[in-house]
Structure 1
Amino acid sequence: MRSIQIIHSPDGSSGSVRRSNTNAGDSADGGKGGHVIKFSGTPSSYRRLLEPGSERKRLEVDPDIPLSLTPQGYVKMKMKMSLYNLHYDQLRRDLLRQRKLWSDPNFPASKVSLGKLKPIREKIDWIRIKEINPQARFFVDGATRFDIVQGRLGDCWLLAAISSICQYPVLLHQVVPRDQDPQTEDYVGIFRARFWHFGHWVEVLVDDRLPVYRGTKKLIFMQSKQPGEFWSALLEKAYAKLNGSYANLVGGLLPDAMEDLTGGVVESIDLKDNFKPKDLLRVLQLYTGRCVLMGCHVDVQYEDETKHLIRCMSPWADGHEWKGPWSDGAPEWEHVSPKEKKDLQLNFKDDGEFWMPLDCFVETFTTMDACHLGLESLERDGTLNGKRVLKEALLVGSWQKNLTAGGCLNNRETFPINPQFTIDLDQPDLDDSLNLCHVIIGLMQKTIRQEAEEDYPAIGFVVYAVAGKQMGPLNRAFLLSHKPIKISHFSNCREVTEQLHIPPGHYVIIPSTYEPNHEGKFLLRIITVSSVQPTLLDTVTLPKQLPEEILRAMQLEDLLLTDEIQMKQKFDAICGPKKQAIHAYQLQEILKCTTLANNIPGFKTFSIECCRSMITALDINHSGVMEYSEFTELLERCKAWKHAFLEFSKHSNEFIPGTSFRECLAVAGCELSNLAFQPVAHRYIHPEEGVVFFEDFILSIIRLKTAFDTFDAQPKNLRQEAIFTREDVRI
């Protein structure tokens, strides 16, 4: 019987949840703080872990397979979610057996977890919630947006996001699972919270020790207005662990917290005069019928006139409210019918909630954040309080130096190497009066600030409209001769989001960093009303014919110093009259008699390793030597490859930029997909100078030719997949 070991342990260095799993039969070491969960049985026994399970109409794991996941990736994702529950259950059983309360080793009750906070004059103790209040509960009469009070930590942005999801129990209990009552007999001091973290829901465990002022039971950070209620304080602690420390929550951004708590895509709408949308009212009205988390917009009848109001809430709830028209107790409310007041749940309490007319709202605020909720966020029935769930597509990619990190459109030479994704919009939105498609595009880069303590690089994207369904990447000529329909702003923040109102059609999205060769991983999310199937545009790996310009250039150069008879005489003189073939060292000598080194500064002759590879590439009968007919074929090919190299050389013909390597290979007859090109680039592009020298270029093509020829020579199955044995490998 085979076994599998899966390790789940929070990452003590960054505070994020670290997850790793191994295949059946492998072993893994948990390390400090790691917990090993063992399963025994055949692979089919794990299928039960992958079956969707529901709890109060809420699926623990959505059964819709994201378009960015392979079936294997989907299985891993669902198994991880099941493992969170298994890990928690096992940890709780161990603690119950030992009759202990849990102390989190990776987020200790010490200064380490506080981080680099400004000094607090009072001394701090960490005590458990039942020591603070023996009748402690997670929830007292449920959770509302009025429960939360900010402490001494500068994280009002997090408070505002938590207050927003309190309006929707399905969102809140995705983040804070039910059944965590500290008054039960099996309570062991563990609090569970779930956050959406770079494309995945992860579970964070913390113990229930909270910082208080020494000698008191007064909490220092976030707390509840309800005595004995601790869910908000513990949620803040779990989020601090995810981000590395409490200090890392100071001065954050509301969009980041909204996304981490919902899995949605946040669109920031600029309300300043020169930038606010001309159709802002129509956009707000459209969003009220969709699952969009924002200030609630409503029309009110005021003396037979329709007034557009926005309901807002101050996260401090300490009397800082709007005092102008339509504020609490304002005379305008006297002309609104009692029924409409009841429908609005109107009250004039000093709770931080207030109403504003739309024009005053736009004049007062500079930005409005709208969080679009897709399948990552909501129930399987497709609605939230009667609102429609939006469709979400998620794609993962990366920018790699000299490979796919081309920088923004200002970098004309390198921009085309950036990843390209296509979406096809088949029909307009049914609820759009202009018969357009409303598309939200969010580009997120993986968190680095807590890991490296440095700023994000600036990122953004452009969108092109194309005439038909795109099968391969847009080439340099198209990108430089066509104007994008959208250029996003470039910002050094975690995510850049833009909304588009565009007609049905075919579009290509190109995400990039602002400067070329900035490396990083990214997540591209596309929110639409109707389903879309975005795909990465890629080339197919295959040999191709040389372009006409290369063939014409070859005709202008007499590569052989003498005529064919004289070259044959040189060949015979080196190999001898009996063998009629040359080995690698003899090939190196005869190549010195050609003009291959001409116009290549610093290059004299090919290395012996390159000559060995040349013989292997042309050695059809596996003799280990090269006959004259094979030699002349090699020279013709090298002549063509040299002209391709010179076409892309920008610096005295000595080398080509690494960013042009893939395009140069294609001109030389080797079309490579992203997957095929990556190992070639890592091998032949100089790691520091970012260039490819002439011999490395020739050697890369020689080895690619060997791979292509080997593939073509193998028998194929019905799907045209080559059938290999170990004896078929050529190196």
Structure 2
Amino acid sequence: MNTPGVCMSIMEERNKQEGRGSLSNPEMFLQQDYQQLTQYCLARGVRYIDDMFTPDRNSIGQDLLSPTDMARVVWMRPRSIVPNPEFIVEGVSRFDFGQGIVGNCWFLASIGALTFQNHILEQVVPMEQSFDEDYCGLFHFRFWRFGKWVDVIIDDKLPTIDGRLIFVHSVTPNEFWPALLEKAYAKVCGSYADMTAGTPAEALVDFTGGVHICFQLNEAPPNLFQLMQRAAKSKALMGCGTPQGDTSDNTVSTNGLVDGHAYTVTGIKQMLSRGTAVQLVRLWNPWGQGEWKGDWSDGSPLWQSVSPQDREMCQSVRDDGEFWMTMEDFCRFYSDLDICCLCPDFLDESSSCHWKPSFYDGRWVAGTTAGGCMNHRESFWTNPQFRIKMEGLEKQCEEKQGSNNMLVSLMQKPDKRNRRLVQSLHIGFSIFEVSSVTSQPSEYQKMRGKFPAAFFNSHAPVAQSKNYMNAREVMEFFLLKPGEYLIVPSTFRPNETASFILSILSKAETHVHENSGDHDHDHGIQVEKPRDKENGHAHTADEEKKKVLFRQYSDQYEEVDAEKLQQLLNQQILQGEMNGDGFSLDACRSMVALMDSSITGKLNSEEFVRLWKKVTLYKDIFFKTDDDRTGTLDLSELRNAVMAAGMRVSDDMLNLMALRYGASSGHITLDCFISLILRLECMGKIFKQLSDGKNMALRESEWMYISMYT
């Protein structure tokens, strides 16, 4: 039996806190242990075959090859392709490989950038691997995937037709690191076909776990060339793309550039041409051929206008896919520039300003925490909220206070293994000011928990993403003054379920926490709770009536079991107020277990009266929060009902309750709501009794004792 998802979620969070998923301690992708599998294969003298990414048509994927070509595919190990395979031959270079029939130029362009930074390359490609010592047909690579580093294992069976690799291939026939790296990434994407179409930013982030910054070149900042120079100096990876042509095909334009194609930025150089400074950008086509034909191309006469030293250093007259062009032509013929680095310190001219990163996982769940954009005023407040306190800039950065001091990035995490099946939602975020050093104290400064709709009705965003985009990631730079802010990430439409990573980078010291839980204000829900001390005679008489009714259903020992409780609740207490068949027998068994202090499987009269009071209280809450009078709570009403019951829950807990107790229609019936609240209250009391207030330690027998009965 697989581990329940809620347990896996707790384990992943604990692993993260303990450093699992870091570069030095990556998680095992699909739970495959490289060391263990290597030892197993070597001990038995066998060649590894990956049963999680099998060498067959499923790993190639759909619609990539024709049926005729698919039938011709043979999966071969490198030793069957060439007599002397090598993992790496004479170092790693962008000129080592060329693209195959997969439309993954975005991935290969990113590899081209990776080859310039050996320290990053060695993070992704463990260099100790070979076809000689301890070879067993098993290789591994590391990628950053949505918040954590994973170690990905593959066998070295590669798809061929007529003995030739059909996907990425090396210029040197016996070099195989590019093909094996591509196969490992195909595995995390789901198949080779799932690598079709993308942007360099995706792979650049997966190679570094760093910060991605995108510049739209039609509105490039005036100092973009200087930014690129500093980025190159800080060992950032850079990629770019040309705009799509009239069709989705990679058509080669008359100027030599390919439409809708990814390229690698491989050089930035300013040189003198006839006494005038010229800003040049060097680019590389991952096809390994096909180059720019305009000014400063390989054969351009303009190379005769520079010094012999610059010409010797930069000009290369061969069709290897690499060429130079001016900064003006770069911004004219390319659409976007992606820069990926561990920290964007290159954005500042002064090296004394340092950006401080922080990362947060979150989730939108339809009906509870997926409120949509600000067009949906009634539900926008239900989105996840992150409260951030930003202090003043460090002294060495004060002179640059007019520049942007915060970068916010929102990345959506896929809910499917296969990359091309992932439906990207339109996502964005808004930033609201709670207080600042220059403003009057706000009533919301001392509020704990989620800010209500009233806050967003009276506060406009002070910053936000420009557009809601159906992209893997949206990011924006901002200039914010010291103070407290609320960042609200959202999907464009409400009720769209997805997970996300919110990244916040700031020049100033910042403190961030998720603004979850309940509100500290009156919601207009007034519930009259039972009064134990006032009007004692009426209270006693009421309890006696309950006990008289109880005796009509109890046995000779004045106890009721789950079956009798079911009759009593449905026929007497909640008669005519149930939307459906009433409490199920299983729900009544659960109530008995929650209220049964003597562990007899039955309730006595005192326990029953306590249960009756709770059922009556929660019934009143249910109907007072059922705003549309449907006899059920939709998931957006659930939050108010839980808070009216006097309980404080996080967004994550609210999402779990909605998934566990909500019907497929997204509505919660009275019986389900009462069962939910009773369990929530009981489990909270159990924790308080058995814990130190923060942590709880149980022996296995104790854990099973509690979980199997309650």
Work out the CA distance in 2 between the residues paired with 1:619 and 1:213.
Answer: 70
Work out the CA distance in 1 between the residues paired with 2:520 and 2:483.
Answer: 33
Question: What is the aligned partner in structure 2 of residue 29 from structure 1?
Answer: none
The alpha carbon displacement at 1:90 in A equals 0.7
Question: What is the aligned partner in structure 2 of residue 313 from structure 1?
Answer: 284
| Matching of residues 646-685 of structure 1 within 5 Å | 646-652=623-629, 654-674=631-651, 676-678=653-655, 680-685=657-662
Check whether the contact 1:312–1:353 (CA below 8 A) recurs between aligned residues: yes
The alpha carbon displacement at 1:173 in A equals 1.9
Q: Which stretches in structure 1 are left out of the alignment for 5+ residues?
A: 1-6, 8-19, 24-64, 376-385
Q: Does 1:538 align with 2:510?
A: no
Check whether the contact 2:27–2:148 (CA below 8 A) recurs between aligned residues: no
Question: What is the aligned partner in structure 2 of residue 402 from structure 1?
Answer: 367
Among candidates 392, 411, 421, match of residue 443 of structure 1: 411
Check whether the contact 2:27–2:149 (CA below 8 A) recurs between aligned residues: no
Check whether the contact 2:412–2:498 (CA below 8 A) recurs between aligned residues: no
Partner-residue secondary structure (3-state), 1:417: coil
Q: Which stretches in structure 2 are left out of the alignment for 5+ residues?
A: 239-264, 345-350, 436-444
Check whether the contact 2:218–2:331 (CA below 8 A) recurs between aligned residues: yes
Q: Does 1:474 align with 2:444?
A: no
Work out the CA distance in 1 between the residues paired with 2:119 and 2:364.
Answer: 36
Q: Does 1:494 align with 2:472?
A: yes
Q: Does 1:354 align with 2:316?
A: no
Aligned residue identity for 2:123: Q
| Matching of residues 290-439 of structure 1 within 5 Å | 290-294=234-238, 295=265, 296-302=267-273, 305-324=276-295, 326-338=296-308, 345-373=314-342, 391-428=356-393, 434-439=402-407
The alpha carbon displacement at 1:142 in A equals 1.0
Partner-residue secondary structure (3-state), 1:360: helix
| Matching of residues 121-132 of structure 1 within 5 Å | 123-132=72-81
Aligned residue identity for 2:503: R
CA spacing shift, 1:615–1:548, aligned 2, 3 Å: farther
CA spacing shift, 1:270–1:630, aligned 2, 3 Å: same
| Matching of residues 523-672 of structure 1 within 5 Å | 523-528=501-506, 534-539=512-517, 547=522, 549-551=524-526, 644-652=621-629, 654-672=631-649
Work out the CA distance in 2 between the residues paired with 1:433 and 1:545.
Answer: 36
What TM-score do the two structures reach when normalised by structure 1?
0.70
Work out the CA distance in 1 between the residues paired with 2:137 and 2:679.
Answer: 60
Work out the CA distance in 2 between the residues paired with 1:488 and 1:372.
Answer: 23
Question: What is the aligned partner in structure 2 of residue 41 from structure 1?
Answer: none
| Matching of residues 280-299 of structure 1 within 5 Å | 280=224, 284=228, 287-288=231-232, 290-294=234-238, 295=265, 296-299=267-270
Partner-residue secondary structure (3-state), 1:248: helix
Work out the CA distance in 2 between the residues paired with 1:94 and 1:586.
Answer: 62
168-177 or 695-704, which deviates more: 695-704
What TM-score do the two structures reach when normalised by structure 2?
0.72
Work out the CA distance in 1 between the residues paired with 2:107 and 2:580.
Answer: 61
Work out the CA distance in 2 between the residues paired with 1:689 and 1:206.
Answer: 42
Question: What is the aligned partner in structure 2 of residue 196 from structure 1?
Answer: 144
Question: What is the aligned partner in structure 2 of residue 71 from structure 1?
Answer: 18
Work out the CA distance in 1 between the residues paired with 2:297 and 2:460.
Answer: 47
The alpha carbon displacement at 1:392 in A equals 4.1
656-665 or 515-524, which deviates more: 515-524
Check whether the contact 1:392–1:531 (CA below 8 A) recurs between aligned residues: no
CA RMSD of aligned residues (A): 5.2
The alpha carbon displacement at 1:160 in A equals 0.7
Check whether the contact 2:356–2:506 (CA below 8 A) recurs between aligned residues: yes
Question: How many pairs align?
Answer: 635
Aligned residue identity for 2:65: K
1:210-268 deviation line (CA, Å, top 9, x unaligned): 33442xx5433212223432221222222223333322222233222222223234333
Among candidates 159, 178, 196, match of residue 211 of structure 1: 159
Work out the CA distance in 1 between the residues paired with 2:230 and 2:578.
Answer: 64
Question: What is the aligned partner in structure 2 of residue 462 from structure 1?
Answer: 430
Among candidates 132, 136, 149, match of residue 85 of structure 2: 136
Work out the CA distance in 2 between the residues paired with 1:173 and 1:721.
Answer: 40
Question: What is the aligned partner in structure 2 of residue 48 from structure 1?
Answer: none
Q: Does 1:220 align with 2:166?
A: yes
Work out the CA distance in 1 between the residues paired with 2:50 and 2:299.
Answer: 49
Partner-residue secondary structure (3-state), 2:377: coil
CA spacing shift, 1:528–1:284, aligned 2, 3 Å: farther
The alpha carbon displacement at 1:445 in A equals 1.1
CA spacing shift, 1:646–1:141, aligned 2, 3 Å: same
Work out the CA distance in 2 between the residues paired with 1:210 and 1:590.
Answer: 65
Question: What is the aligned partner in structure 2 of residue 689 from structure 1?
Answer: 665
642-651 or 225-234, which deviates more: 642-651
CA spacing shift, 1:83–1:503, aligned 2, 3 Å: farther
CA spacing shift, 1:147–1:572, aligned 2, 3 Å: closer
Check whether the contact 2:403–2:479 (CA below 8 A) recurs between aligned residues: no
Q: Does 1:159 align with 2:108?
A: yes
Work out the CA distance in 1 between the residues paired with 2:623 and 2:197.
Answer: 52
Check whether the contact 1:146–1:351 (CA below 8 A) recurs between aligned residues: yes
Check whether the contact 2:559–2:603 (CA below 8 A) recurs between aligned residues: yes
Which has the larger share of helix? 2
Work out the CA distance in 2 between the residues paired with 1:127 and 1:591.
Answer: 68
Check whether the contact 1:394–1:524 (CA below 8 A) recurs between aligned residues: yes
Partner-residue secondary structure (3-state), 2:95: coil
| Matching of residues 10-159 of structure 1 within 5 Å | 69-71=16-18, 78=25, 80=27, 84-87=33-36, 89-94=38-43, 98=45, 100-116=46-62, 117-119=64-66, 123-159=72-108
1:69-125 deviation line (CA, Å, top 9, x unaligned): 323857998384698452254145235xx2x54444444444343322232866444
Work out the CA distance in 2 between the residues paired with 1:291 and 1:188.
Answer: 35
CA spacing shift, 1:134–1:502, aligned 2, 3 Å: farther
Partner-residue secondary structure (3-state), 2:378: coil
Aligned residue identity for 2:329: C
The alpha carbon displacement at 1:486 in A equals 0.7
Work out the CA distance in 2 between the residues paired with 1:163 and 1:316.
Answer: 11
Q: Does 1:246 align with 2:222?
A: no
312-321 or 185-194, which deviates more: 185-194
Check whether the contact 1:68–1:393 (CA below 8 A) recurs between aligned residues: no
Work out the CA distance in 1 between the residues paired with 2:648 and 2:157.
Answer: 59
1:166-208 deviation line (CA, Å, top 9, x unaligned): 11111222222113333x3543333332222233332333333
Partner-residue secondary structure (3-state), 1:511: strand
CA spacing shift, 1:490–1:699, aligned 2, 3 Å: same
Partner-residue secondary structure (3-state), 2:206: helix
Partner-residue secondary structure (3-state), 1:146: helix
Partner-residue secondary structure (3-state), 2:25: helix
Work out the CA distance in 1 between the residues paired with 2:615 and 2:13.
Answer: 46
Question: What is the aligned partner in structure 1 of residue 256 from structure 2?
Answer: none
Percentage identity across paired residues of the two chains:
29
Work out the CA distance in 1 between the residues paired with 2:155 and 2:466.
Answer: 42
The alpha carbon displacement at 1:448 in A equals 1.7
Aligned residue identity for 1:257: A
Work out the CA distance in 2 between the residues paired with 1:209 and 1:606.
Answer: 57
